[in-house]
C-alpha cells in the first residue's frame, strides 16, 4: 500500500530583542504551522510572561479579523539556550504566525526590522522598559517597530523607527509598505530637563580650594577633601559636576543604557553625580542581585562618584574600588554569570580628620590618640595611593597659600578671576580638556608610563631646576606617575609647553597621601 505523503509545514519568522545580563541580544522568532491536532506551543526557554503570551496572541489575531490556524502552531525562540522573559515577545510572535499562515508577506523593510511590543486581547500594542532596545537599534543602525505610545528622546532622533498602535497597524506595514510614511510622522521628545546642580558661585571665598577642584576636573584626577565639619567639603563636592563638560551623544547613550537596567530614563547631557550612603552594600556599590543590576560605580560612569565621610564605610569596602579607579572597569564573578562593568568615573571623597572633626584644634578636639587611629584605620594606604590629589580645608581660607610660596604671588592672584562661578570654571575645564585630547589623545589622568617619561625628559631639558626638585620628591612607581600627571595639568593651565619645576613641586604637595592635622 502506498504511504501517504505528509503535508508540508508553513513557516514564518520575525526578529526581536531580549535582555541578557547588561546587554541586549537579537532573537529570531520562528513559527512552523504543522499538521496535527490544534495546539500552540512556545519553545526556547520561555519564562512565565512569554508562555502566557499564547492566549494574548491568539485573542489579538482573532479580534484583528484573522482566523487563528486550526493546526499545530510551534514557536521557537532562537537561540534556544538563552532565557526569554517579558511581554514584548507578543508582537513578533503574532506577526510570525500571520506570515506562516499566508496572511502577510515580508517586504524589504519588514524582513530586517526588529519588532517589540505587548499585545492586549483587542490587539492594542503597548510596552514599557524598551529603552535598551531603542539604544541598541540606534547603535546597530537597525530599523525597529515600537508602540505608538512611546515618546522617543531627542538623543535618538536619528533612529529609524516606526510606531504602530495596534496589530492591524503592524499588518498594514507589511501589506502597504508604508514604512517610510510612518517614519516621517514619528515625533521626538525635545523636553529633556537638565539636572539641577549646585554652583560654585554659592561658595564664598575658598579660592585655593576652588582652583584645586578646577585642576582636578581639567585632568580628571581623583580628589580627597579633608577638614573639620562645616567648612564646605560636601558643598564643593556637589558643585564639582557643574564644572565638567557636557556628555557627547555617544556617552549620553552609554549612560542611558546603564540607567535603563534600573528602570530609569536618563538622556540629558549633564554628567551623572552619585552619592551613595556609607551603609551601602557591596552589591549596591559594585552591582549584583537577581536579575543582575549595576551598582553605584556603574551609575557614575562618565560622571562623578562622591563618597562622603569615607571613614564611616565598612573596612575593606573602599578597597573594592581600586580596580575601578585604575582600569575604569571591573570584572564581577557571580553564581549565575560573569559581568564586565564600565566604571570610568571620577572619585571625589571627603572625610573628617578625627571622630569629632577638630583634630589639630586643642581647644575643641575631644578625641584620644586611639580614637584617631581607629578612625583613620578604615582607609588603607593602597586606596589612598590611587587618589591623585588631596587637600585640607582650614577653618578660614587664605587665597592660594601653598602656591604663593612656590610661585610669583601676582600669578596666583590672577587665578581668582577664573573662579567666580561654575560657568567660568567649566569653560576653562573644557578648553584644557580639548587641549589634552588634541595633544595626546587622552586626558592627563590617563597618561601612560611612557608618556609621563617623555614629559619628564622634556621638562629636564627645559629647566635645570626640574631635576633638583625631582630628586627632593623621591617618589617612585604609581606615586611618581600620578605626580607627573597632576603637574602636567597644572602646566596646561598656564599654557606651558613643558612641566615647570613649580608645577612639579605643587603636584607633589597634592599627591602626598597623608592624614592632615
pLDDT per position as a tens digit, 219-248 = 999 999 998 888 888 899 999 999 999 998
Give the CATH number of the domain where residue 316 resides.
3.40.50.300
Are residues 10 and 102 in contact, defined by beta-carbon separation less than 8 angstroms? yes
Query: Is residue 449 in a domain?
Result: no
Query: In residues, how long is the chain?
Result: 517
Query: Is residue 5 in a domain?
Result: no
Distant-in-sequence, close-in-space partners of 303: CB < 8 Å, separation ≥ 6 = 241, 244, 255, 271, 272, 273, 274, 345, 346
Q: Rounded distance, CA 120 to CA 146, Å?
A: 15
Q: Rounded distance, CA 436 to CA 457, Å?
A: 18
Query: Is residue 313 in a domain?
Result: yes
Question: What local confidence, expressed as pLDDT, does residue 513 receive?
Answer: 58
Q: Please tell me whether residues 218 and 288 are part of one structural domain.
A: yes
DSSP-derived secondary structure for 448-501: -HHHHHHHHHHHHHH-THHHHHHHHH---HHHHHHHHHHHHHHHHHTT-SS--H
Q: Please tell me whether residues 64 and 101 are part of one structural domain.
A: yes
Q: Please tell me whether residues 410 and 264 are part of one structural domain.
A: yes
Q: Where is the domain boundary, 189, 213, 235?
A: 189
Q: Please tell me whether residues 136 and 250 are part of one structural domain.
A: no
Number of folded domains that form the chain: 2
Q: Rounded distance, CA 473 to CA 468, Å?
A: 9
Q: Where is the domain boundary, 132, 156, 189?
A: 189
Query: Is residue 136 in a domain?
Result: yes
Q: Rounded distance, CA 284 to CA 332, Å?
A: 13
Q: Please tell me whether residues 185 and 228 are part of one structural domain.
A: no
C-alpha triplet 460, 466, 467: angle, nearest 5°: 75
Extract the C-alpha cell encoding 107: 517586504
Query: Is residue 483 in a domain?
Result: no
Q: Please tell me whether residues 256 and 341 are part of one structural domain.
A: yes
Question: What local confidence, expressed as pLDDT, does residue 354 receive?
Answer: 86
Q: Please tell me whether residues 101 and 241 are part of one structural domain.
A: no
E-assigned strand segments in 87-201: 114-115, 118-119, 125-126, 144-147, 152-153, 161-164, 188-189
DSSP-derived secondary structure for 289-330: TTTTEE-HHHHTTTSEEEESSGGGSPTTTGGGGHHHHHHSEE
Are residues 166 and 121 in contact, defined by beta-carbon separation less than 8 angstroms? no
CB-based burial label for 240 (10 Å; 0-12, 13-18, 19+): buried
Query: Is residue 477 in a domain?
Result: no
Range of the domain at 31: 10-189
Global pTM? 0.84
Q: Please tell me whether residues 208 and 179 are part of one structural domain.
A: no
Q: Rounded distance, CA 201 to CA 185, Å?
A: 44
Q: Where is the domain boundary, 367, 399, 429?
A: 429
Q: Please tell me whether residues 230 and 265 are part of one structural domain.
A: yes
Distant-in-sequence, close-in-space partners of 397: CB < 8 Å, separation ≥ 6 = 205, 206, 207, 208, 209
* Count of Cβ atoms closer than 10 Å to residue 397 Cβ: 18
pLDDT digits (tens, 9 = 90+) for 255-267: 988 888 887 888 8
Q: Please tell me whether residues 159 and 215 are part of one structural domain.
A: no
Query: Is residue 74 in a domain?
Result: yes
Question: What local confidence, expressed as pLDDT, does residue 406 receive?
Answer: 52
Q: Please tell me whether residues 280 and 237 are part of one structural domain.
A: yes
Give the CATH number of the domain where residue 130 resides.
3.30.230.10
Q: Rounded distance, CA 119 to CA 134, Å?
A: 19
Extract the C-alpha cell encoding 264: 530609569
- Bond preceding residue 79 cis, omega within 30 of 0: yes
Phi, psi of 60, deg, nearest 5 = -65, -40
pLDDT digits (tens, 9 = 90+) for 395-435: 766 555 555 555 554 445 556 667 778 888 999 999 999 99
Going residue by residue through the chain (517 aa), what tens digit of pLDDT does each one get? Answer: 444 444 567 789 999 999 887 789 999 999 999 988 999 999 998 998 899 999 999 999 999 999 999 999 999 999 988 889 888 999 999 999 999 999 999 888 888 899 999 999 999 999 888 889 998 998 898 989 999 888 777 777 778 888 899 999 999 888 876 665 444 444 454 444 444 568 888 888 788 888 999 999 999 999 999 988 888 888 999 999 999 999 988 898 889 888 888 878 888 888 999 999 988 988 889 888 777 788 899 999 999 999 998 988 887 888 889 888 888 888 888 776 778 888 999 999 998 888 887 877 778 888 888 888 888 888 888 888 889 999 888 776 655 555 555 555 444 555 666 777 888 899 999 999 999 999 999 999 999 999 999 999 999 998 888 888 888 887 778 888 999 999 999 999 999 999 999 999 999 888 875 554 4
Query: Is residue 458 in a domain?
Result: no
User: How do beta strands 223-226 and 161-164 pair?
Assistant: unpaired
Q: Please tell me whether residues 85 and 170 are part of one structural domain.
A: yes
Amino acid at each position: 500500500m502506498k504511504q501517504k505523503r505528509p503535508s508540508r509545514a508553513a513557516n514564518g519568522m520575525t526578529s526581536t530583542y531580549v535582555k541578557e545580563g547588561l546587554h541586549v541580544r537579537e532573537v529570531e522568532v520562528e513559527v512552523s504551522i504543522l499538521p496535527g491536532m490544534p495546539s500552540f506551543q512556545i519553545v526556547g526557554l520561555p519564562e512565565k510572561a512569554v508562555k502566557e503570551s499564547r492566549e494574548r496572541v491568539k485573542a489579538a489575531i482573532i479580534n484583528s479579523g484573522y482566523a487563528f490556524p486550526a493546526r499545530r502552531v510551534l514557536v521557537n525562540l532562537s537561540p534556544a539556550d538563552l532565557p526569554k522573559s517579558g511581554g514584548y515577545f507578543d508582537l513578533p510572535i503574532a506577526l510570525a504566525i500571520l506570515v506562516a499562515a499566508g496572511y502577510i508577506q515580508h517586504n524589504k523593510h519588514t524582513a530586517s526590522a526588529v519588532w517589540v511590543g505587548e499585545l492586549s486581547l483587542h490587539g492594542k500594542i503597548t510596552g514599557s522598559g524598551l529603552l535598551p532596545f531603542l539604544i541598541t537599534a540606534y547603535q546597530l543602525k537597525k530599523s525597529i517597530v515600537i508602540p505608538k505610545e512611546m515618546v522617543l528622546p531627542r538623543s535618538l532622533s536619528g533612529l529609524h523607527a516606526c510606531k504602530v498602535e495596534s496589530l492591524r497597524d503592524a499588518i498594514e506595514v507589511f501589506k502597504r509598505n508604508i514604512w517610510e510614511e510612518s517614519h516621517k510622522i514619528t515625533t521626538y521628545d525635545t523636553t529633556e530637563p537638565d539636572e539641577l546642580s549646585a554652583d560654585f558661585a554659592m561658595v564664598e571665598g575658598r579660592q585655593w580650594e576652588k582652583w584645586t577642584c578646577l585642576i582636578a576636573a581639567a585632568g580628571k584626577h581623583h580628589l580627597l577633601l579633608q577638614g573639620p565639619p562645616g567648612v564646605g567639603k560636601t558643598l564643593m563636592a556637589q558643585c564639582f559636576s557643574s564644572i565638567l563638560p557636557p556628555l557627547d551623544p555617544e556617552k549620553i547613550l552609554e549612560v542611558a543604557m546603564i540607567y535603563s537596567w534600573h528602570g530609569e530614563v536618563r538622556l540629558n547631557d549633564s554628567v551623572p553625580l552619585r552619592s551613595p550612603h556609607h551603609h551601602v552594600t557591596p552589591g549596591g556599590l559594585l552591582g549584583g542581585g537577581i536579575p543582575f543590576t549595576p551598582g553605584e560605580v556603574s551609575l557614575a560612569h562618565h560622571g562623578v562618584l562622591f563618597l562622603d565621610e569615607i571613614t564611616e564605610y565598612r573596612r575593606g569596602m573602599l578597597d573594592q574600588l581600586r580596580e575601578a579607579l585604575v582600569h575604569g572597569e571591573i570584572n564581577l564573578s557571580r553564581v549565575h554569570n560573569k559581568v564586565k562593568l564600565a566604571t570610568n568615573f571620577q572619585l571625589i571623597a571627603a572625610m573628617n580628620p578625627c571622630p569629632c572633626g577638630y583634630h589639630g584644634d586643642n581647644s575643641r578636639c575631644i578625641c584620644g590618640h586611639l580614637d584617631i587611629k581607629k578612625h583613620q584605620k578604615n582607609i588603607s594606604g593602597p586606596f589612598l595611593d590611587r587618589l591623585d590629589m588631596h587637600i585640607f580645608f582650614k577653618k578660614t581660607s587664605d587665597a592660594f597659600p601653598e602656591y604663593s610660596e612656590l610661585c610669583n604671588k601676582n600669578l596666583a592672584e590672577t587665578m581668582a578671576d577664573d573662579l567666580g562661578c561654575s560657568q567660568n570654571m567649566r569653560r576653562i575645564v573644557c578648553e584644557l580638556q580639548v587641549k589634552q585630547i588634541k595633544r595626546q589623545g587622552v586626558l592627563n589622568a590617563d597618561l601612560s608610563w611612557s608618556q609621563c617619561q617623555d614629559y619628564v625628559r622634556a621638562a629636564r631639558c627645559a629647566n635645570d631646576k626640574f631635576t633638583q626638585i625631582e630628586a627632593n620628591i623621591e617618589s617612585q612607581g604609581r606615586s611618581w606617575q600620578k605626580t607627573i600627571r597632576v603637574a602636567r595639568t597644572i602646566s596646561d593651565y598656564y599654557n606651558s609647553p613643558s612641566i615647570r619645576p613649580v608645577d612639579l613641586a605643587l603636584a607633589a604637595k597634592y599627591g602626598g597621601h597623608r592624614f592632615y592635622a
